[in-house]
Structure 1
Amino acid sequence: MRRLVHYVIIFWIHLSLGLLFASPVSAQQDSIRFEHLGLEDGLSQSSVSTIIQDDKGFMWFATTGGLNRYDGREMTVYSSNLIEKEGLSDKHVTDICKDPEGNFWITTVNGVTYFNLRTETFSRYFSEDGSNSITHNTAYGVQCDEDGTIWIATNGGLNKLQDRQKGHFKGYYIPEGDSNFRTVYRDSKGVLWVGSFGNGLFYLDAKEQKLVELDLSALSDEVVTSIYEDKNEVLWVGTENGLYRIDKKREQAKAYRNASGDPTSLSDNTVNVIYSDSRSNLWIGTENGLNLYNSKTDDFRRFTSDPTNPNSIKSNRIYSIYEDQHNTLWIGSWSNGIDKFSYHQKGFEHYTHEPNKENTLSDDNIWDFVEDKDKNIWIGTDNGLNRFNPQTGEFLSFFHDPKNQNSLSSNRIFNLAKDQSGNIWMATIKGLNKFNHDTQEFKRYMVDEGTTNSISYPSLWGVDIAADGRVWVTTSGRGVDVLDPETDQFVHYKSDPTDPNSLLDSFTTEVYVDSKDQIWIGTRKGLNLYRPQTDDFKSFASDSTIPKGSSVMDIHEDSKGRLWIGTSVGVFILDSDTHELLNYYNRDDGLPDDIIWVITNDHEGHIYLGTTMGLAVWHPETEAFDIFNKRDGLQANEFNAGAAFTSAVGQVYVGGINGFNKIVPSDLKGNPHAPPVVLTDLQLFNESVPVQGDFKSDNGKKTILQKTITYTDALTLSYADNVISFEFAALNFTIPEKNKYAYKLEGFDEDWNYVGNRNFVTYTELAPGEYTFRVKASNNDGIWNNRGTSLSLIITPPFWQTTWFYLFATVFVIGVIFTGYRMKVRRYKEYSERLEKEVADRTSELNHRNEELKNALEELEKARDEVVEKAHKAGMADLATGILHNVGNILNSVNTSAALIEDTMKHSKLQGLLQANTILRENVDDIEGFVTNNPKGKKLMQYYLRLEDPLKKEQQKVIKQSKRLTEKIELINEAIAAQQSYAGASMYADHISLGEMIEDALTLQAGSIDRHGLTVDKELDSVDPIIAQHSKLMHVLVNLIKNAKEAMAGNRPDDKVIKIRSWEDNDRVFLSISDNGSGIKEENLKKVFNHGFTTKKSGHGFGLHSCANYMKEMGGDIEVESNGKGKGATFTLIFAKAKDSNEEE
């Protein structure tokens, strides 16, 4: 609607245009749309000598500035390094061929290079005197045979590779003359052809193993630049003096040269390249244009650079041509990059105004179409009326002529309609016009201030013809005018806010007469239907139909009788009989935008909807949309209101701000090729991993890739390599920005991640184990390669989690147990002999301790009495009571332990041991016989064995209670000291500067923060000191910073920010630590401080639990906030303020 208002404002500017009445115009330019790649797309240099595609699907471009690999998004450049003697033998590449193993042989102006694509390693070959090297360093052509034989054409002879490892070649020469060769080619019969510089065409005699000149006088002195055999086994030879068609059997040649004034002749005599595509089209690149040979007419169609046409080739100097496996034709030029077009490009034939040509469309701003009874298409524009003949492609333009009353009243024509007599009606910015088909003249209907029967307003937007012949016209502010052609009188309908049966708004945008002769009016505020019985209007402006206030842009009835209403908030579908709402579509349903400017349908029932973001085509069988934009060949992504139409033969016309498109619906077929999917890069910690080179990380140097990631099937990484990124590409070059991707890491991801055209993913903190990374992709038309590509990934564990470590630990433990068992048996006798003495000594010791304890108790009781007496005397009853209370509790525990020791001694097994030892001493002289033969001796040994465990338990119990007695005594001392401390002063607490603590914590983490690329944003207010313990607070701060770092591991390197803020109120000090990382699910917010709870795959849930405990111990608190997964998290610490000395007093 803004566009309509805009045109009203600038109406007066265009009234002054007065142009010729009519002028003949020719057909539009060729429909092939070329797209361009240049330096701005990453090409290393703009002169492209040869183009090739490898087995994976990458495109390779050889230039004078290096070799370029293209994946549809990025260029990877390979050049030469003369200092390091690495890479290409020279960056000026002249030709490439692919051997049976898929590797490249590359000729340059300084040597030959073998390029292993799997390892990205180069072998370079140079000419050396007195050796079997290549015969000359300047090499122009290379041929890779199916059997692996390599032929190289140089300035000093033809070379055949004999030993790649040793760099041995065999040379072939012309018997007479210079052996200066430019190209080499193997035909379908196995004949090897060689083109020379000034000596004609040669072939290799297989038996004689020598070069023989083809006996053609026409070629004898020619510079042969290219050789190619077409599908019919015809040999074509390009020279600097024309193109030759060779009859190999008869040794005859037909020459094709440029003929001045003949546009069907070869565009230039210097032929640089010849190529036949998969459709048997023969393409010839010359120094002045691209040529397509027509075998039926034996002539050529030219494609040349046109600066006014963005879809033409950019340069006329064509040096290389190649068709990829998905039918995109690539054209390399000299000094102007690459042009390409796809045989799967959509059939959007584009017509525009060409300022520098007489024969052109009158203007690019297109408003409407209508078809006359002669099948011509009439087109209304911002600058004139055009009649277009689709058969001949010719235009005839009509303009306003101020000297001719029978010309158009204005050049700005917004809407067109055809009446039953074949006359064309035009709504213009200056009145209504009728073009009489018979007289070929215009009649004007203008505003006449002297009568109410004229048109009410000059600025008109819509026109249509009712069944009764009356002409309905919409205006930009005065409602609707209706003309009776018999009387030339108008009646007027306006909006009346007090009348619900009037128009919704006087700014009327569209009028449409449907197949049932119902008249629909579109306004800025909704839709109206004219009711002839009552001569008023029904309104559609409610939630049940079309929302009130929705501007109507276009109205169209489809073949099913459904009315499609294009509005500012989507498209509404009404039943033309019941007027009920059938359906509604907007952006949420797949439309590219909510504003619907144009609507039409083809003969197959597809609905075409033009928006401000492209063209949507609705399929009735699926109710889904195909979306097309300028990259598909549309005139633009934006359309003008009502500029859509379908002709009687089924061709669809859509217009907008950059001309119009003629569409043959059958040509909108999709690209059927599912794209190859490849991995293009592996990164660890956001750094690309080199091939066969050391990767430096915190874990040291190591070689990870033996082959490029594209050719790698399995990968093993350490648990410490915990930030892993993959980049991938779909090698479909037909609008590659429309390729879409999905990935999945089996063993980690439960489902596929569909990520649109994003072609990278990062994983962090993967647990040790086995995974499979999978990627699949679709082409520009949504055809998926569901098999995609995959990579087996193993994350090795730390050594303490490995099987060998577990095995070693198990063997070690078994060994310890076995050794211990043997030692236990050996010491049995010694133990028996020592046992009696040890028990006696222990008993004596325990008796001694009991005596000491009794004495200690007596002394404590005495001390207690003294303390009470002194406390009363000193007025310290409260202190004494506290001490006595604590000491009394501890004394109760002392009494308990003493009683347990006494009971243990009364019921000890020591008495039984003494009796057993007495029997043993009685038989000491024959102890071996006594133990072996005497039943008492056998029982005595069994008794000893049974006695071991009870004695050990008694010993442990006594030792335990003894330790407890010692501890209780120490507690008594502490209780007294503590009580004294409390009586004299409060417990000591650190007064800590929060700002200094934050700086210390960040200093501790500085290395990790830099390594992971974190940005720290501090907003620290000046706050009072806090009460806290230094070590516990440092633990909390470091833990929260570390957690924030780990939560952001999956973010982009430039999107990892930790924000630290501090503030205070009257009693408390606050500190928050925020991140923009993975966030916390709502259901986990109350669990994060629980012991053992964690969301990490390898976490233990101790960190935040300990933080919460420490904060409570220091008299503070900790809180957490998060808006959910992927939204980051904020942890807030709350401290009590430290009171100053005055407040304490």
Structure 2
Amino acid sequence: MSKMGSLYTLSVLFLLSMEAFSQSPLEKVKFSKLTVALSNPSVSCVLQDSRGFLWVGTMDGLNRFDGYDVTVYRNEQDDTTSLLKNAILNIYEDSRSVLWVSTSSGGLHVYNRQQDNFKRLPQYSFDCEVSEFHEDDTSLWIAGVRHNKAFVNQIDKKTNRHRYFELFDSHSPVHSLIPASDHEFWVGIRERGLFRWNLKDNQIYRQGPPAESFHQMVKSSVHDLWIATGKGLQKYNAATHEYILYNTHSTPALPIDNVLNLCMDGKYLWIGTENGGLCRLNTITNELLTLQSNKNDPASLPDNSVHALCKDRQGRIWIGTYSHGVAVIDRLGEKFMEVDIPLGNAVVNAIMLDSKQRLWVGTEEGLIVKSPQGLKHFRHTAAKESLQTNPVLSIYQDIQQRIWVGTWGGGLHRYDEEHDNFIHYMPDKKNKGSLSDANVFSIWQSSETQQLLVATYGGLNVLSDEHTGTFEHVREKQYEFNNYIHTIYEGKKGDLWIGTLEELLRYDHTQKKLSRFETATHSDSVHVGGLCNSILEDSRGRLWVGTAKGLHLLINGKFKKRYTTRDGLPNNIIQSILEDNAGNLWLGTAVGISRFSPDDGVFRNFDIADGMPGNDFRPRACLRNDNHQFFFGGKGICVFNPDSVRENPFIPKVVITELGILNEPVKPGDFGGILKDQISETSTITLPAEYNFFSLKYAALNFTSTAKNQYAYKLEGFHTDWNYVGNQRSVMFTNLDPGIYTFKVKASNNDGVWNEQGTSLTIHILPQWWCTWWIKLSAIVFLGAGILTVYRLHIRNIKKQNKILELQVRKRTEELAHQNEELTQSQEEISAQRDVVSEQNLELQAARQIIEKQNKEITTRNETLEAEVEERTRDLVEYNQQLEQFAFISAHNLRAPVARILGLGHILDIGESDLQEIRSIVEKIVFTTEELDCVVKDLNTVLDVRRNSTTVIGAIKLREELRLVKINLEKEIQETQTLFIEDFSGGDTLWAVKPYIDSIFMNLIGNAIKYRHAERTPIIKIRSEVQGDYLHITIRDNGLGIDLNVCKEKLFMLYSRFHWHVEGKGMGLFLVKTQVSAMGGKIDIESCPNEGTCFRLSFKHAPGT
């Protein structure tokens, strides 16, 4: 036997709970893989035993699986307790929990649970294959083929007497054995078909047409038999003797004729085929569902050849495949579904179900409409009537049944259904009544005024005339951040709530303004302190606001409470909110969906392990349909019925799976026989003192989302309380004192249902040999005798010495009395002197402390002064150098235009020029003057940055700044087909001067495009990360690069240029360096000619630092 770890990610292959979910064309049949490190990927049989372990037979070994680890059993040479062969045919557990294992080409074994090995049954060892088992109240029936004869062996369970039946000559074994009556069996033979066997006279009769490849038979009712054959699936009614054949030509049609195995699951019959996948037949309605592998779909069946099917005690369907191991269908783990829409990698930003039951899906890559007629895609194209941009942020259907679409960077669109295109509403600087901003986050129609409200980063827009595209602009004047509007929501009383970057406001349509109001904790607004992503008024009139900082509760417009991860949320970013019929809130977050009960304040969190397509959901991307189905959008669309999200009710069995000593797993007989039986079958162990350093592993035998199984343990005699350790499955103990301990472990399933009883193991740790009781008793006896002898001798000696001492004491006492008088007098003198010295020492110590303090202050002041002098000196040197450069360049750049103007003036003074020549001179003077004006503007720009007189530090969203720069450079980007790779996950917010950041991005990105390499597509990579107190921004291109060995010293000098084939002034890098320094930042460069350039900008991360 060998242990192999397995990466076990339990997930559900296919959602089939028809009671839990109503039929809908939106629902997607989902498959996931179950990856288990088996001994061989070709599976022949699967069984869950009464202990809860899963046994998997393969073509090369037997595997026992506990949900985490696999124990492999194979033939071991010279070990008669191992398997006889490695190819497993069948596994069966009888009513007494005896596990039977048959192998190919001979071999039947009984598993010894205590010793974790096998007993071989010699009568089945050679020229015999056991392929079928059956058990009734009195007997166990074993069937197969032996010496080319099909046989059945009856074993009486009370007397263990055997009754052997030979049926007929056959090279094929018995594949199925099902009772037909008290004395008759239905018998299926691989190459012969179905027979009826009478035990009384041992006669066998053919029943129905022959089947060339009989594989398996199951019984669904008293009379109905289902037979898997190489020519299809047969249904046989024993009462009417009627056959119904299901094959590739029947209705319904199988995907292939070769049916290998069957498994009854209530009204469903699971059908495993060879190369045709897995089918599910409703035996009542005759509906057939075929599930097949798709190499382009990672969520499909892993292999189309299904060689084993098994239903376990919790209702899971385990599937053994020919080449991809084991998969499982688990109703308990699949609480959620995915809408069947081909999204690719697109993220879903908005979803809406219109009055015609069409599902509108807004993604980063366009708009998708799913209807009973099929799918329709809308993307940005060259056509004038298409979407202006692909990213769709919001979708809304108004009272007139018209569809409105909000985009990022493309403004507002109205869908023209008649012409199947869009009418656009875009910002226009020449038209004050146009849309104020091109980014539309939310759309809502007022039920009172019927006006359309549009949320943008330019404030609230109220559509007053849709034909002319005229909007009224509503802005909050006091706080600019309130004009970054993300959410619009209308309450039941007609209140229009507006969610901004920081606050929740109300829109007063009569006064056409955003109002701020009194709250319980703030005097001027509901300051939620984070981006308002979603708003919902529940059935009890309470207002819930989802923000980037948690879930906020408002009652009557007053803030009451904020819920965060400390209260049980999985994440503080609340993206969307829905309410179910029971009053629970369902919250889409950045790490899954949470169900919140407002009455008891309890959160129940779900994630991708529960069947969701992804964990990250998007703001306001949610809806509830008339069937009470909930939809949440993010990575795919998650759909579910909240009433059907039920918890796994099964209490998991808990087993101790491994004892470890000296970092080695202990098997029966190891380490001097510490274990007589394997640890899972052991209740008490005794450890010598040298083995008081040991470990234990344990497992909850729950195969549904095992990563969510929870554990707790305690060692009685050492711990007083339970240790709750999450999903940790092992514990180590070191240097335990001798004594008797009881190790207890309990566990929960994936939904928090605990097995409080758990399991336990008594551990007796022996003392060292010298600490045993008989050693201690002997030592006490010998020590007592020795002490008594020594005591008697000592008493005798003491008496003798006492007499001598009495004489010496008298004499010595007289001498001491005289000396004591002298010492008393001397002591008084010394005491007086000590008092004087002590006072002097105190005075000296105080003076010394004062001097040391003054010396430290002087030293500190000197060091500070030296640092300030050095810093001021560096600043003066740098400014002098810059001033010298500035003066030189200014003189140089101003001298040339002035000289030209003077020269042209002298020409005019001559007075003999004709009119044409004068006009030419005047044009040159104008051109030269414009050139001079350009120089002066450049110098003013530099001086303005140096003065830093109008800069305002504020929070800047780097992703937004980059998007704006890309819009400004849109023409250059499209002409050069420049590609951008952006990663702001390391930090998206920078406290800096917005105009400077705009200028820095514009110059660096513009240079990257301008100085691109002619032979490759320009690629610009922009990344941010926080390290310590600094936010670093890296801008990397694959352009021409700069030779730093030649140009490094003048890299950031004014009017420095390094490539002369492209027009430029040499101002960009000097201005970037100046602006970065003005904000207290640093800039570094890496560059290599013909490979590209990388700029690294470093700024203080927090404001005011």
Q: What's the TM-score bracket when you normalise by the shorter of the two chains?
A: 0.5 to 0.7
Sort the Cα spacing of 1:119 and 1:539 in 2 relative to 1 into closer, same or farther, 3 A.
Answer: farther
Cross-structure match for 2:145: 154
**Pairing partner for 1:468 from 412, 428, 449:** 449
Residue 272 (structure 1) shift: 1.2
Correspondence 1:434 to 2:414: yes
Letter in 2 for 1:432: L
The residue identity in structure 2 corresponding to 1:136 is D
Correspondence for 2:238 among 248, 253, 262: 248
- Tell me, yes or no, if structure 1 residue 687 matches structure 2 residue 687: no
- SS at 1:631 equivalent: helix
Residue aligning to 2:676: 706
- Matched residue SS, 1:37: coil
Give 2:362's match in structure 1, choosing from 344, 359, 380: 380
After TM superposition, give the deviation of residue 308 of structure 1 in Å. Answer: 3.6
Work out whether residues 559 and 605 of structure 1, in 8 Å CA contact, stay in contact via their aligned partners in 2.
yes
Which position in structure 1 is the counterpart of 2:733? 763
Q: 1:649 to 1:818 in 2, by over 3 A?
A: closer
Q: Tell me if 1:185 matches 2:177.
A: yes
Match of residue 282 from structure 1? 269
User: 1: distance between equivalents of 2:259 and 2:517?
Assistant: 67
CA contact (8 A) 2:154 2:164 kept: no
1:592 pairs with 542, 567, 570, which one?
A: 570
Q: 1:234 aligns to what?
A: 224
Give the CA deviation at 1:522. Answer: 2.7
Does residue 717 (structure 1) correspond to residue 681 (structure 2)? The answer is no
Gaps of 5+ in 2: 1-22, 812-1105
Match of 1:639 among 617, 620, 623: 617
CA displacement 1:516-571 (0-9 Å, x = unmatched) = 33333333344333344654434589985766752222223222222222222222
Where does residue 737 of structure 1 map in the other structure? Answer: 707
Aligned residue in 1 for 2:212: 222
Deviates more, 1:221-230 or 1:86-95: 221-230
Displacement after TM superposition at 1:723 (Å): 1.4
State the Cα deviation string for residues 24-69 of structure 1 (Å, max 9, x = none): xx9868645333234xx31111111111011110111111121111
Q: Does the CA-based 8 Å contact 1:399-1:410 persist in structure 2? A: no
Matches of 1:86 and 1:541 in 2, distance apart?
Answer: 81
User: What is the rounded CA distance, in whole Å, between the counterparts of 2:535 and 2:738 in structure 1?
Assistant: 62
Match of residue 10 from structure 1: none
| 1:630–1:374 distance in 2 versus 1, CA, 3 Å | same
Structure 1: how far apart are the matches of 2:27 and 2:492?
A: 38
Q: How does 1:720-799 map to 2 (within 5 A)?
A: 720-799=690-769
Q: Which residue of 1 aligns with 2:193?
A: 200
Q: Specify whether residues 238 and 491 from structure 1 end up closer, same or farther in structure 2 by C-alpha distance, changes over 3 A only.
A: closer
**TM-score normalised by L of structure 2:** 0.64
**Per the alignment, in what secondary structure is the counterpart of residue 332 of structure 2?**
coil
Q: For residues 30 and 206 of structure 1, what CA distance do their matches in structure 2 show?
A: 51
Give SS of 1:56's match: coil
Shift of 1:124: 2.5
Q: Contact (CA 8 Å) 2:460, 2:475: kept in 1 or not? A: no
Aligned to 2:540: 560
Moved more, 630-639 or 444-453: 444-453
Correspondence for 1:122: 118
In the alignment, which residue of structure 1 is the partner of 2:949? none
- Does residue 425 of structure 2 align to residue 445 of structure 1? yes
Residue aligned with 1:457, SS: coil
Q: 1:315 to 1:706 in 2, by over 3 A?
A: same
Describe the superposition over 1:114-168 as per-residue Cα deviations: whole angstroms up to 9, x where unpaired.
2212321212245xxxxx555624444444555463514136332537799x999
Compared with structure 1, are the counterparts of its residues 455 and 607 closer, same or farther at alpha carbon in structure 2 (3 Å cutoff)? same
Query: In structure 1, how many angstroms separate the alpha carbons of the residues matched to 2:386 and 2:124?
Result: 81
Q: Report deviation, 1:740.
A: 0.6
Equivalent residue number for residue 52 of structure 1: 47
Conserved? CA contact 1:370–1:417, under 8 Å = yes
**Partners of 2:484 and 2:518 in 1: CA distance:** 15
The one-letter code sitting in structure 1 at the alignment partner of 2:397 is K
* CA contact 2:196–2:207 (8 Å) conserved in 1: no
Amino acid at match of 2:268: N
Q: Is 2:461–2:472's contact at 8 Å kept on the other side of the alignment?
A: yes
Q: Does the aligned pair in 2 maintain the 1:493–1:503 contact within 8 Å?
A: no
Count of residue correspondences: 775
Q: Relative to structure 1, is the Cα distance of residues 269 and 182 closer, same or farther in structure 2, using a 3 angstrom cutoff?
A: farther
Distance in structure 2 (CA, Å) of the matches to 1:402 and 1:236: 56
* CA RMSD, 1 decimal: 3.8
Measure how far apart 1:226 and its partner are.
Answer: 0.9
Secondary structure, aligned partner of 1:588: helix
Match of 2:1064 in 1: none
Which residue of structure 2 lines up, in the alignment, with residue 416 of structure 1?
Answer: 395
Partner of 1:348: 336
> Of the candidates 366, 375, 378, which is equivalent to residue 399 of structure 1?
378
- Report the CA distance between 1:181 and its aligned residue: 0.9
Instruction: Measure, in 1, the Cα distance between the counterparts of 2:356 and 2:488.
Output: 25
SS state of the match for residue 504, structure 1?
Answer: helix
Deviations 1:470-494 (A, max 9, x none): 222122x423322114674544547
Report deviation, 1:705: 1.4
Q: Distance in 2 between matches of 1:671 and 1:188?
A: 37
Aligned residue for 1:519?
496
- Tell me if 1:64 matches 2:34: no
Does structure 1 conserve the Cα–Cα contact (< 8 Å) formed by 2:74 and 2:83? Answer: yes
For the pair 1:326 / 2:314, whether they are aligned, the reply is yes
Q: Pick the structure with greater CA Rg.
A: 1
Paired with 2:375 and 2:155, the residues of 1 have a C-alpha distance of 68
- Which amino acid is 2:282 matched to? N
Distance 1:73 1:54 in 2: 16
Q: Which amino acid aligns with 1:472?
A: L
Separation of aligned partners in 2, 1:213 and 1:595: 71
In the alignment, structure 1 segments of 5+ residues that lack a partner are 1-25, 127-131, 355-360, 696-701, 825-830, 832-837, 851-895, 906-1145
Choose which of 652, 660, 668 in structure 1 pairs with 2:630: 652
CA deviation map 1:938-981 (0-9, x unaligned): xxxxxxxxxxxxxxxxxxxxxxxxxxxxxxxxxxxxxxxxxxxx
1:498-529 per-residue CA deviation (whole Å, 9 max, x = no partner) reads x42x5524433222232233333333344333
Q: Distance in 1 between matches of 2:401 and 2:295?
A: 40
Identity score, percent = 29
Tell me how far 1:451 sits from its aligned partner. 1.4
Note if contact 1:173-1:211 (Cα within 8 Å) is conserved in structure 2: no
1:738: Cα distance to partner?
Answer: 0.8
Instruction: Please state how far the C-alpha of 1:95 moved relative to its aligned partner.
Output: 0.8
The 1-side partners of 2:178 and 2:139 are apart by 13
Q: Is the 8 A contact 2:61 2:86 kept in 1?
A: yes
| SS in structure 2 of the partner of residue 420 of structure 1 | coil
Structure 2 Cα separation of the partners of residues 682 and 404 of structure 1: 71
Following superposition, the deviation at residue 900 of structure 1 comes to 2.6
Distance in 1 (alpha carbons) for counterparts of 2:339 and 2:767: 64
Distance 1:589 1:532 in 2: 37
Q: 2:464 aligns with which of 472, 484, 487?
A: 484
SS in 1 for 2:33: strand
Q: Supply the distance in 2 between the matched residues of 1:565 and 1:227 (Cα, whole angstroms).
A: 58
For normalisation by structure 1, the TM-score amounts to 0.62
Change (3 A) 1:665 1:548: closer
Alpha-carbon distance between aligned partners in 1 of 2:70 and 2:82, rounded to the nearest angstrom: 17
Name the CA shift for 1:813/1:222 in 2 (closer, same or farther; >3 Å).
Answer: same
Separation in 1, partners of 2:207, 2:489 = 75
Residue 902 and residue 27 in structure 1: after superposition, are their counterparts in 2 closer, same or farther (change >3 A)?
closer
Distance 1:338 1:684 in 2: 32
- Name the structure 2 match of 1:307: 295
- Does the C-alpha gap of structure 1 residues 513 and 703 become closer, same or farther in structure 2, counting only changes over 3 Å? same
1:425 Cα deviation (Å)? 1.8
Q: 1:742, CA displacement in angstroms?
A: 0.9
Q: 1-side partners of 2:328 and 2:97: how far apart?
A: 24
